[in-house]
Every structure is written in structure tokens, then in C-alpha cells.
Structure 1
Amino acid sequence: MWFFARDPVRDFPFELSPELPEGGPPGPWVLHRGRKKATGSPVSIFVYDVKPGVEEQTQVAKAAFKRLKTLRHPNILAYIDGLETDRCLHIVTEAVTPLGAYLKARAEAGDLRELELSWGLHQIVKALSFLVNDCSLIHNNVCMAAVFVDRAGEWKLGGLDYMYSAQGNGGGPSRKGIPELEQYDPPELADGSGRAVREKWSADMWRLGCLIWEVFNGPLPRAAALRNPGKIPKSLVPHYCELVGANPKVRPNPARFLQNCRAPGGFMNNRFVETNLFLEEIQIKEPAEKQKFFQELSKSLDSFPEDFCRHKVLPQLLTAFEFGSAGAVVLTPLFKVGKFLGAVEYQRKIIPVVVKMFSSTDRAMRIRLLQQMEQFIQYLDEPTVNTQIFPHVVHGFLDTNPAIREQTVKSMLLLAPKLNETNLNVELMKHFARLQAKDEQGPIRCNTTVCLGKIGSYLSAGTRHRVLTSAFSRATKDPFAPSRVAGVLGFAATHNLYSMNDCAHKILPVLCSLTVDPERSVRDQAFKAIRSFLSKLESVSEDPTQLAEAEKDVHAASSPGMGGAAASWAGWAVTGVSSLTSKLIRAHPTAAPAETNVPQRPVPEGHWETQEESKDAEEDSTAADRWDDEDWGSLEQEAESVLAQQDNWSTGGQASWAGQTSNPGHKSQESDWSSWEAEDAWEQGWQEPSPPEPPPEGTRLASEYNWGGPEPSDKGDPFAALSVRREAGAQPRRDSWGDDNWEGLEAESRQAKAELARKKREERKREMEAKRAEKKTAKGPMKLGTRKLD
């Protein structure tokens, strides 16, 4: 019954957009934007309204509907769904734009390049080759209005209304009846001598020539305009002339036309076309070929269209990582393409892949992720960082490869603002303490200090009070000179996080001890920092009302806004240390010892200045070296040689650093770093050094000694005098302030402890021997010939 009838248009799973139609090829079809009702995905809908009295035109439209539904080729408009009723025809295809509108928009934006035109024409010629050579079909309607462009910039051939079979069983070419389309017919058809055409592709190749002319020069006004190539590139002109030649027998086959244009120096012989051809066949390529392709891809992405990178390259990169064996080589092009994505699209497509990559055990992938973290860190939310990324990143602190340890430290500059209380103030500080105290690589210890100074403002008030002073004080006693400079700069960068008492009692004494450091750069930075802290104390002393203002940040909560200020102080250290590290990696035997070891004996002041000038020139170089995969092994070998040289210091040099250096090969005297995993790890790891125990009776204090040995010959140079006395093995004396020399006191205390421990061992040994003797006496002599029965 009629009231049970349903409207097929209303039940159609696609709907037309309320926007105005985009037009379409000349004729009855009208192109509309649309979407799928279930998913909202965009589509294009070609609509034909059936009208009375135009039965011939309706039959042409129905034939086009059928051909588009049955023909499947990557370069032919993709059919999705369709609707055929007595009142209308609907053809649903992928979302496309007419070529004329696309070229106009690209030209107005100034972003139209010959690369994409060469690939677009390549696709249309390939579609014609498929039709004529594989299907024996003549398109009969090649023109600008029959070509469409999808969102990736791929050109698709449509307009199949007037297609016919080349074998003659489907009839000859039908008359179109539309002047706008008939002007593209070749001269042999216009003269009515269509039977004189000897090659089945001749007419379509003429129309291809018309399309090429329109692509570079705009709409074709008349057939005579084809004689002037206009703006057609010179490399394409000879092949274009073959297409529009008057003799139909001379016009090339589409396959041969492609071959000619792909010859060396041809219009379609470029990197963009080669990349597209490789992507089309990537599923059948060998793994080695894929690796080489992805390695070279990032160099060419800057010259490729943005839409092509987003919609064609990106899916292939994601597929190669997800289902292939591409590995770390996809990271560089992946992040390069990610720059073209919006925040929402980046979260949906890139971030899941990044999170999965962090769980990989491939060292090359891990280090490249850490090196390129700056490109995607802004898209990571805090829950993702704390639960899915940070637990994997911290494994890099324990890695045996120095390159991964260094990159892991540097990555904390970006991750720290997003870490929660536990990860930042507990877990991260544990690893930093271990690296600073025990890592065998001086540059890594230096970078740890630098990173701590930059992220100090993110730490909680309690952690800052407990960690920063001890960490920077330890750095000032490091045998690696840049680490000592980093410790001084760390104090300067976080000056607003210390109370006045800490400045006076903890920081200034440490800085003052560096004013006699063997390295000129350390002394210079120490003097600057001392003047800064002294001026701060003087201002508060003159006006006590400024005390509250000066200490406003000491007990404040973490303030992410301060990260920018901290980021400016030690940028030289990361860059400079990378340069130093690269020199270690690349095994420069002449440079490594001079940069990693403390001088064995004092050197003249002029030599210090010359050495520092050469170091400054190296550190100011803008091209900072990177860690290379192939250099990891040589780094470990160089590190072993450097440590061996450190162990061969002279006796005087060791005495000058006794109680101050944190030699990674020996247990620290300030704290028990090996017990870092205990519950009271903070108190054990970052606490200030405890006062030495009183020595036993008979032990002389350091204050009872005077400087022994010969007096220095150059009394005018305090550094030379101090060094000569140390070389002579002199003992410390009580200075004019009445305070004992803590270095000598600690040495005496250690000697006393060692002597006391030795006496205890001997006493314990005598007690054990006495007990064994008593047992033997109580049992009596052993009876021979007896055996214990079971």
C-alpha cells in the first residue's frame, strides 16, 4: 500500500551538505559536498535529476553510473556508493575538488609547484594507459572538467559519460551535443573522418595535449591556441608537440609517453614522482630498500606539498612502523610531517605511536626519541608522561651506553614541568644523585648539574632546601673542570631559592674555596657568584625590610614560570659539554687528557689564560656535535684511558683534592650513595657533610701542625705558593681566622678511623684465638680408635 512506501533518498546513508554545489563537468551532473550519516566522514556526491524529454541524456548518465561502479583503478575516481531512482541518480565518491578550482586556489596562495603538476599529469596518463591498453576503452572526454583532486593532492580521472569500447562492439563515439566538450575533439573527428584514425589512443592523446595546455595556461579558448605552448615547461614541450600533431599516427601510446617523460632530464623525472612511485609499491619492496627510502625521505619533505605529506606520506610512515620493520628511521620524517598537523590530529595520529616507541628496547630508537623530544613534548599531557613515558625513560639513567645516559639527562629539561610530585622530587632526584656521584663520564656529571639548576624551580620547597645546596657543593669538588663551573652557575641561577642563612653559612664558604681553583674559568665564575651573593647580603643588611622580599621564593611551591629564567644561565654547559663529549667519542688523544683531567701541578698564570682562550673558542662554536651510533664503542674505550690517567695523578695532586673530589671509582666520603634506595635516601644522599669525629688520644689535630717543606720561591703568587706547599707534602696550619683547615682535619680523622679499625680487628683476632684455645683445653686429648655410632 502507498502509506507503507519509503523514500529511498531519505533512507540513503549519505546526505548532501547545505552548502552551494561546487559545479562539475559540463553536462547534467552537479557536484555536491556530502558526508556519511553514520561516521560524518566527508564524501563527494554527483547528482543527476531525471527530467522528461531528455531520455538520451538520461541513458548517458546511467551508463556513466555503471562504468564508474565497475572500474577500479588508483587513478580513476573511486566509487563508494550510489542511488538510482526514477527521479534522480546519486553517485557517491571520495571527497574531491574539481581540478580547475584546485589549481586556482593553489595559484592564489602562491603554493603551486611544478612537482605536483608533474605527478598529477603522470597519474592521468597512467589512467589513460590502463583504459586503452588493459581495458580497450576510449575515454572520449579528457579535459580539465573531467579531472578531480583528492585531499592528498592526487589527480583522479572522472567524466566517464561518453566512454566507448575500442573494439567496435559497443558502437563508435557518440556525439556529445555540448560545445564546451566538443572543442577538445581532434581535427580528424571534427572533419567527420573518424574512421581514418588508425590508433585507438590517438583521440585521447590529443585531448591529453589540450589538458596539458590548460593546466599551464588556463582555459582553452579555441583549438588554434594549441599551436603556442605558452607557459608549458621546456622539458615538456617536445612531448606536448607530439600529442597535438595533425597526424594521428604519430601520437604516442600513453605508456610510451610516460617513458619519454621519465627519461633523464624529462619533466616527470624528479624526486617527487620517484617518491610517489615508491610509496605505491612499498608493500613489495625489500626491507633494505625501505630503510634507505625512509632515511632519504626527510631531506625531500620540505619541497613536497603539505597536503601530500599529511595524507599520503604520514599514513605510510605509521604503517611502516606499526606493521613493518622500519624501526628508528621513520622517526625523523614522522616528526617532520607532524609539524603540518593540528593539535587534535597530532594527538590522534602521532602520540599513540610515540608512546609505543618509548617502550621499545631498540637503543637507536630510544636515543632518537630523546633527541627529538622537543618536537612533540607540547602535545603530551601530564597523565601520559607520568604513567606511560617517564617509567620507560628513567631506564636510560642506568644504561651502560653513555650516549643514552646523556640524552636522558637532557630530556628531563622538557619532561620536568609535566612530572608529578613523586616522579620529580623522589624518582628523578635519586637518579640525578647517582649520576652526579658515580658516573664515570665527566660531561654527564656536568650535564646533570646543569639540568638540576634549570629544573630547580619546579622542585617542591622541601626538596629544594634538601637537594640544591648539597648537589651544587658536590659539583664544585668534581675533578672535571666544567662540572665545577656548572656547580657555581647552579648556585647563581637558583640564588632566589636560598635563605640568607644558607647564603652566608653554606654557599659562600663553598664558593670561596674555589677562588684558588687551578682552572681560570672556575675562579672567574666563583668571583662573580661571590660578588652576587655578597651584594644580596649587603642589601638586606642595610635595609632589613627587604628580607621578606629576598626570601619570597624560598618556601614557595613549585613555580613553572621560573623555568625560562633558569634556562638562560647554563646553556653553554649543555652545548659545550656535548662538544667535549664528542671529542672524547672521536678519540682525540691530545685533547682528551687536557679537557678531562685536573692539572698535576700548578702552571703559570699566562698558561691558564692561553688554555682558557682556546677552550672558549671551542665552546662558542655554534655547530654542536651529536652522539653518533657508530661512535658509542670508542667512547667507552676513551673513558677507560681517561680514568686510567686520573688514577696516575701525582701524590701532591691527590693530596690537593683529598676529601673534595667525587671520584666515580671510589666510595664517596660525604654520604653513602650506595644506599640510595633506602627509605631515608634523601637524608643520606643530599645531606651536608657531618662534622668529623674527635680523634683518639695521642692524635694531633690539624691546628697543631704548621706548613712544612720549603717556602715558595715566588711569594707574590698565592696560587703558586699554595701549590708548592702541597707538592712538598706540607701539613695544614691554623689560619689567621682561628679555624682549622677542614681538609687536613678530615684527612687526620680518616687516618684515626683507619688506625682504630685496625686495632679493633687485631683485638678481635686475639679474642677468637683465646676462645679456640679454651675449647681445646676443656675437651682434652682426642682418643684414638673410637668412632661415633649412629
Structure 2
Amino acid sequence: MDFLKSAVASAMAKGSSFPYSLGDRVDIAESIWTLHNATKREDGSACSVFTFEIATNKSRLPLAKNAVRKSRTLRHPGVIKVLDTIETETSLYIVTERVAPLSWHVKRRSLSEETAKWGLYTIASTLKFINGDAASVHGAVRASSVYTSESGEWKLGGFDILSSMNDDQAVIYTYGSLLPDTARYTPPEIVKGGWDAIKRHPLTAVDSYGLAILVFEVFNGNFTGEVGKTTNIPPSMQQSYKRLGTANPKLRLSPAHFVEQGKKSGGFFETPLIRLTDDIDSLGLKSDEEREDFLNELENLSEDFPEDFFKMKVLPELLKSVEFGGGGPKVLSAILKIGGKLAQDEFNAKLTPVIVRLFSNPDRAIRVCLLDHLPVMADNLTQKVVNDKIFPQMTSGFTDAAPVVREQTVKAVLPIINKLSDRTINGELLKFLARTANDEQPGIRTNTTICLGKIAKNLGQSSRAKVLVAAFTRALRDPFVHARNAGLLALSATLDVFSEDDCATKVLPAICPSLLDREKFIRDQANKTLDLYLQRVRKHGSSMADTALPATNSEAPKEAARIGTSNDKSWAGWAISSFTNKLAAADGDIQPTATPKPAEEQRSASLPRPTSSTSPAPFSQPKETARPAVQPLNRSMSARPAPVQQEEPEPVDDVADAWGAMDDEDEDGWGNDEDPFNAPAATAPSTSKPKASPVPYDDGGEPDFAGWLAAQSKSKKPLPKGLGGSKTSSTPRTSSPSSTAKPAAKIVVPVKKIDTKPKDEDVDDGWGDAWD
């Protein structure tokens, strides 16, 4: 039979004259109707269709026709909204809003207490209208007669025997017993005296008994036939519930009185959800105080309230209030809280246009509320909307006069960073973050550093390292302690962003001052960060080649230097050894500035310097065979550059001055533009002809002690004790001007001052200056 019904329904749905397309069949029990989900062919809107097949259920046709007639005429918010009714020779159709049977939730016992009270309040209020204003009796109040709409509201249906008590030929008197499972739900007085007993008792008696059955089903899942049991019934409702289902119809509590008792102060219908339902339709007409009370109730709602009701009923009214009624940030907070539960297509259809318009609102409170809830909305906003519409409106917040707006704007960058294009990130966004990094508020500076650390992966590779180094190292010098800590943490988090060269030359030098910070926790964090970078630099250094010098074909010196050899492990050995190795690898001739000596005069550096051939040089020694001198440099005199005579420097008073002046950082903190290592060495050319060739550098020959002793004996200065010669005066020698040798000019090597400041890199995009 069910298969036949489905086949007939499908045939009707395919007919061109039927304006609705039937979909899935919805299972409902204890009903003469078949329920289908359907759509309207004209616009595709969702609806439900109740179908009654005349041929298969002809005895209950009067009940079906009564339901069609009452559905057309009965209008109330608690009644199923009827869109259309269609009668053919074979079937009857009632087209309604999309609904679902309440019995689904009742059998699964999935209703929360607050939702159950809210639904019972709606049904009791609807019965109050039917019994009072319409002077009618429903006659079949039970869970199978109640449905839920798309908004989650409970709607009363099942009008098969609904009858007006002003009609003596009402259907309920004749066909009331034809309802499915009527014996289990019929009141005791009807069981004894038939449906005509309605006339002898209060009009509300039958529906009050049915309402008691519904209360029991809602809280227990199934009606066992015993009305009055208080199992699982809320304690505040038990007394009124018992009076609804009492056996004496004259003592039963009417639905109107049931609502009245529930709405008393502290009553079972005094819940935030019910109060919100009563006030939502008139929200736009409320005063500021009434609206404030309403919003406070809205904030008190728990998470287990029906979401569909907020989406379909509350949300549209709140949107009207915030856009046109001056609802303010509290209304907006409620909107965004509800919007967080919407599907993406629903969010884009209902909320996105409003959010875009609100971002241009000059009200700072609205702006801060939007920024604060942006993490909840970001997933539902499309990339195009964020990049083209929302972010351009957000940028004014970076320069707003109110610090709270600037701070919330910086925080709001994180949830939308993945929705921004690379051009926007590396262009506008970085420029604004450069401003907030220098903000007068220390908290904003700190949050900017945190923000940059978290979006480091989104920055362009060409400017990423330069931007982050500038930002984080500036944060390390911030007077605000938490800003310094944020800089250290950001450097730790972005270790992989920097190259090994940047780690060694830029990051590590910037971290070192923090090792002596006045705050202990900064020093501790600086040590942790320093260890991370040192590990990376050391690991990279261990993988590097031993030397970068090109291979040479020259033979190594056969005789090692007396000091500074590769085997010398003393503290000075490495420097001198390195120097000698470089000189040994040098090729070519250096042209001296003085007149070159003849080839025959070239000699070892350790031999005494010869004088003219006519006169013996002073301090000369007796003729003897000269012993070979050690030549650690392994080259001739001609291969050595002729030193230039320079003025003798002033004596150095302080040891630190001998290392060169260590200038402080310049104003912007990034070093001077000059590179001291590229500056050419200054030379002072001699303007007069030198009297004698300078003595070349002696690198370790035997000292001419005898010559020095002879010179001292010729001079008037007394010799040191123990070094005095014979009292016999030496024979004076006649010396001519031509034969007298001039003393050798003293070679002075000026101390070279090294500027340790890093050279500024070329700034090609202007971003580096933005941090200064």
C-alpha cells in the first residue's frame, strides 16, 4: 500500500498541472495523511505537502475534508502556515511551510528542558486562542499533531476533528472516534459518554487533557496511558500539570490558566527563551532601556537553545535593529554570535552584505565589535570580500586616534591574513604595521611585534628577512619590558626565516645586549634565543669548506718561520702564521717608491747594512765571515715594498685607543653608511729627497750587539754598568761628509682604526626606512 501511495504521489508530481515537486516521504505515525518534502516549481522554495488518497481511505474522507477547510480559515502564529490546498477526484493536498514531526525528537528524547518549555508554551498559547477566540475544540492534542518549522518553532496541526462549538453538526461529534489510536488518547468522560459529552462539560476540558498528554510525552518520550504521573516533569510544572489531566473535567486547568500560572513571577514559563520570543517581534519599537533588557536576556541564553529559531526569527530582527534602529555593539555581538553557527552559504547570503556596510560605519564601538568578532567570521568570508571590501575599510583603524581601535586592528590582522593577496600584505599592510611598531602605546608596539612573528610565513621572500630583522631588533631596544620579550620570542619563532649569514651578522649581535638586561626573565629568554641561533650557525659552519682560498702551485717554504708556524699553538701563532702564509703565496714584483738598489746590493735582511766603499761605517765590526741569516719570508729584498716615510704618531695614552674608536650607533640605530673596511689607506708622500733608503723590516736576525756597544763608547752617554770598555781611548777616525753614513729613517706604522659598524644595505623598496 505504501508503495502504491508513493507511485501515485510521484505520478502527480510529474504532472505538468501540479505546481509542486514532491520529494522524500516523511514518516509520521497516527495520522490519516502522508507527508512529503516538496519544492515549489515556480521559485524552488521549500515546502511540505500533506497527501490524502481517497480510494485507499474513503471512510476517513470527512476528516480529511474538515482538515482542508479548517486549514484555510484558521490563522495563528502557533498554527502550521498553509500555502495552498488542492482537491482532486483522487486526492486531497494541503501545502504548508516546510515542517518536520515533533515525534522524531520526542522518541529520541533529544529536547532540552528549556526548549521543551518554550514549545509547550507555544502550544498552550495556541490552544488558548482556539478555545477562547475561535470557540472551538481541537480534540486531538498529542505529539503526533505537533510539528516543528524551519525556524525550530512548534506548530500545531492535525485539524482532522477541529470543530466549532457553535456548530451543532460538527465533525467531532460524528467522526471523532475515527482518529487513529483514539482509545489511548480519549479523555475519560468521552470514553464513558461519547463525544457528545463535550456539550455537558467545559469547552476546554478535552484539549486540557490532551495538553497534559503532550507534556508527559515531551518529557518522557512515550505516553503509557496514565495521565498525572510526574516522572521527569520539572518540579515547578508538576502541580499545574496534574490539574490539566485530572479525571474530573470540571476541575481541569484550562490552557489559558496553564499559561497564566507559568508566566507568574518565578513560574515555569519565565525563561529567557520565552521572554525573547515574546519581545523579538517588537524589538524595533522598544525604548533604549527595553532594548537593553532584551539584549541582556539574549546574552543569557545557553548553547542548547534551538539554533534554527535564532537564524530564522531572531537574526533578521537584530539585523534591522543594528542597521536602522541604532541597536549598537550589543546587538551586533548577538548577531555575530548567532552568525557563527550559520553555514557558509547562509552566512554569505544573510550577514556578509551587512558586515561590509558596518565596516564603513564611523561608530568606533561598532568598529571595535566587528574587529573583536572577526576570528568568528573570517572562515565564512570569501577571499575577494576580505581583500577588496573589508581590508580597505580596516586600514583606517591603524591610524585611528583611539588606541583601542589601533590595537584591535593590529590583532584583527591574524584571522584574515590568509585571505589577503601577496600584494596587499607586502604593500599596504607592512606600511601600516611599520607605523604601529613605533606607536606611542607600548602595548600596541608589543602586539605589532607578535603579529609580525605570526605572519612571517606570509611575507614576501624578497623583503621578509629585512623587515623582520629591522622590526625585531628594534623591539629588543624597546624600553617596555614586554616589547623586548616579544622581540626575543618572535626571533625564536622565526628562526627558519633568516639565512645563516643574517643569523651571524645581524641577529646574534642584536641579541647580545639583552644578555645583560635589567630584567631577569629577559636575560633568561635572551639566553634561550641565543642558543637557538648559535646552534644553527655552528651547524652551518661545520658543513662549510676548510678554506675559500684558491689552490696555488708554488712550493711551500722549506724552512719554517721561527715563530708563527702552523704548528705554533700559542695565542699569537695563528695571526703571524697566517700573515706569513699569505706573503709566501704572493707573486710578482712591487715597484718601490725610492730609487731601486743595484742587484749586487741585495742581501739578506739580517746582514749589516753596508756603507760607501771609501769610508768604513760607524759601529762596524771586525771583518769576519757572515753567518747565514734566517729568512722566514723566503724572498729577496727586491720583493719587499719600499715603506713610505710618515710622521711619527703621538704616543697612545690609553690601551683602548690603540684599537680604534668604537663609535656609538648612529641616530637610526642601523649603523653608518661608510664601510671602514673598504676605505683606502692614506699615504703621505715625501716632498723631499730621502737622505737614505729606509731600513727594511728585520724579522728575526741576530742583533748587532757589538756595533751598538761601539756606538755607545763613541757617544758621551755613559754605558750601562758592566758594559764599559777599556779606559784607553780609541783612535779617532777622520770622517768626511761623503763617507759619513746617515742614520736610517725610522719606520712608523700608523695604527689603523677599524669602524665596526655594519654597512647599511641598499634599500630598494623604502621599507627599511619605514621602521626608523
Q: TM-score, normalised by structure 1?
A: 0.64
Q: Deviations 1:569-622 (Å, cap 9, x if unpaired)?
A: xxxxxxxxxxxxxxxxxxxxxxxxxxxxxxxxxxxxxxxxxxxxxxxxxxxxxx
Match of 2:412 in 1: 411
Query: Is 1:11 aligned with 2:17?
Result: yes
Matches within 5 A, 1:379-458: 379-437=380-438, 439-458=439-458
Match of 2:466 in 1: 466
Query: Is 1:23 aligned with 2:24?
Result: no
SS of 1:269 mapped into structure 2: coil
Amino acid at match of 1:487: G
Match of 1:215 in 2: 218
The structural deviation recorded for 1:493 is 3.0
Query: Is 1:690 aligned with 2:673?
Result: yes
Distance verdict in 2 for CA 1:187–1:507, change over 3 Å: closer
Match of 1:138 in 2: 137
User: Are the equivalent residues in 1 in contact too, given 2:322–2:332 (CA < 8 A)?
Assistant: no
User: Are the equivalent residues in 2 in contact too, given 1:176–1:182 (CA < 8 A)?
Assistant: no
Amino acid at match of 1:213: F
User: Are the equivalent residues in 2 in contact too, given 1:188–1:196 (CA < 8 A)?
Assistant: no
User: Are the equivalent residues in 2 in contact too, given 1:310–1:337 (CA < 8 A)?
Assistant: yes
Distance verdict in 2 for CA 1:468–1:273, change over 3 Å: same
Match of 1:786 in 2: none
SS of 1:301 mapped into structure 2: coil
The structural deviation recorded for 1:659 is 7.5
SS of 2:177 mapped into structure 1: coil
Match of 2:621 in 1: none
The structural deviation recorded for 1:20 is 3.7
| CA–CA separation in structure 1 for the residues paired with 2:401 and 2:56 | 82
User: Are the equivalent residues in 2 in contact too, given 1:120–1:154 (CA < 8 A)?
Assistant: yes
Distance verdict in 2 for CA 1:285–1:181, change over 3 Å: farther
Match of 2:70 in 1: 67
SS of 2:36 mapped into structure 1: strand
Query: Is 1:49 aligned with 2:53?
Result: yes
Amino acid at match of 1:255: A
Q: Deviations 1:633-673 (Å, cap 9, x if unpaired)?
A: xxxxxxxxxxxxxxxxxxxxxxxxx987xxxxxxx9429xx
Match of 2:188 in 1: 187
User: Are the equivalent residues in 2 in contact too, given 1:12–1:83 (CA < 8 A)?
Assistant: no
Query: Is 1:150 aligned with 2:149?
Result: yes
Query: Is 1:101 aligned with 2:100?
Result: no
| CA–CA separation in structure 2 for the residues paired with 1:424 and 1:229 | 64
Distance verdict in 2 for CA 1:283–1:127, change over 3 Å: farther
Match of 1:370 in 2: 371
The structural deviation recorded for 1:91 is 0.5
The structural deviation recorded for 1:398 is 0.4
| CA–CA separation in structure 1 for the residues paired with 2:497 and 2:546 | 15
Match of 1:597 in 2: none
| CA–CA separation in structure 2 for the residues paired with 1:53 and 1:278 | 44
| CA–CA separation in structure 2 for the residues paired with 1:546 and 1:496 | 25
Distance verdict in 2 for CA 1:144–1:472, change over 3 Å: closer
Amino acid at match of 1:670: D
Match of 2:9 in 1: none
Amino acid at match of 1:10: S
Q: Deviations 1:162-210 (Å, cap 9, x if unpaired)?
A: 2222234554733323262254333333333627624222222222223
Amino acid at match of 1:26: S
Matches within 5 A, 1:626-637: none
| CA–CA separation in structure 1 for the residues paired with 2:233 and 2:473 | 72
Match of 2:718 in 1: none
Q: Which has the higher helix share?
A: 1
Q: Deviations 1:3-53 (Å, cap 9, x if unpaired)?
A: xxx999632221221x345235533x2222222223333321111222399
Amino acid at match of 2:457: S
User: Are the equivalent residues in 1 in contact too, given 2:272–2:297 (CA < 8 A)?
Assistant: no
Distance verdict in 2 for CA 1:529–1:233, change over 3 Å: closer
The structural deviation recorded for 1:742 is 7.0
Match of 2:88 in 1: 85
| CA–CA separation in structure 2 for the residues paired with 1:363 and 1:346 | 24
Match of 2:114 in 1: 115
| CA–CA separation in structure 2 for the residues paired with 1:534 and 1:53 | 88
Q: Deviations 1:42-89 (Å, cap 9, x if unpaired)?
A: 3211112223994x7434322321210121111011101121122211
| CA–CA separation in structure 2 for the residues paired with 1:363 and 1:659 | 44
SS of 1:235 mapped into structure 2: helix
Match of 1:615 in 2: none
The structural deviation recorded for 1:215 is 3.0
Q: Deviations 1:382-411 (Å, cap 9, x if unpaired)?
A: 222211111111111101111111121122
SS of 2:249 mapped into structure 1: coil
| CA–CA separation in structure 2 for the residues paired with 1:210 and 1:546 | 92
Matches within 5 A, 1:382-781: 382-437=383-438, 439-544=439-544, 669-670=667-668, 690-691=673-674, 739=754
User: Are the equivalent residues in 1 in contact too, given 2:34–2:51 (CA < 8 A)?
Assistant: yes
Distance verdict in 2 for CA 1:201–1:387, change over 3 Å: same
User: Are the equivalent residues in 2 in contact too, given 1:26–1:145 (CA < 8 A)?
Assistant: yes
| CA–CA separation in structure 1 for the residues paired with 2:675 and 2:169 | 106
Distance verdict in 2 for CA 1:235–1:471, change over 3 Å: closer
Please, which runs of 5 or more residues in structure 2 have no aligned partner? 1-11, 548-662, 677-750, 759-772
SS of 1:148 mapped into structure 2: strand
| CA–CA separation in structure 2 for the residues paired with 1:473 and 1:131 | 76
Match of 2:123 in 1: 124
| CA–CA separation in structure 2 for the residues paired with 1:8 and 1:474 | 74
TM-align CA RMSD: 3.3
Amino acid at match of 2:187: P
| CA–CA separation in structure 2 for the residues paired with 1:297 and 1:43 | 30
Distance verdict in 2 for CA 1:470–1:164, change over 3 Å: closer
SS of 1:509 mapped into structure 2: helix
Distance verdict in 2 for CA 1:60–1:533, change over 3 Å: closer
Distance verdict in 2 for CA 1:496–1:190, change over 3 Å: closer
Distance verdict in 2 for CA 1:136–1:435, change over 3 Å: same
Matches within 5 A, 1:282-361: 282-361=283-362
Match of 1:562 in 2: none
Amino acid at match of 1:215: V
| CA–CA separation in structure 2 for the residues paired with 1:181 and 1:413 | 62
| CA–CA separation in structure 2 for the residues paired with 1:450 and 1:113 | 43
Distance verdict in 2 for CA 1:378–1:203, change over 3 Å: closer
The structural deviation recorded for 1:738 is 5.8
| CA–CA separation in structure 2 for the residues paired with 1:458 and 1:521 | 30
| CA–CA separation in structure 1 for the residues paired with 2:667 and 2:300 | 52
Distance verdict in 2 for CA 1:404–1:195, change over 3 Å: closer
User: Are the equivalent residues in 1 in contact too, given 2:284–2:325 (CA < 8 A)?
Assistant: no
Q: TM-score, normalised by structure 2?
A: 0.65
Match of 2:280 in 1: 279
| CA–CA separation in structure 2 for the residues paired with 1:315 and 1:409 | 31
User: Are the equivalent residues in 1 in contact too, given 2:125–2:255 (CA < 8 A)?
Assistant: yes
Distance verdict in 2 for CA 1:434–1:101, change over 3 Å: closer
The structural deviation recorded for 1:260 is 1.1
Match of 2:659 in 1: none
Q: Deviations 1:685-724 (Å, cap 9, x if unpaired)?
A: xx7653499xxxxxxxxxxxxxxxxxxxxxxxxxxxxxxx
Distance verdict in 2 for CA 1:401–1:103, change over 3 Å: same
Match of 1:253 in 2: 254
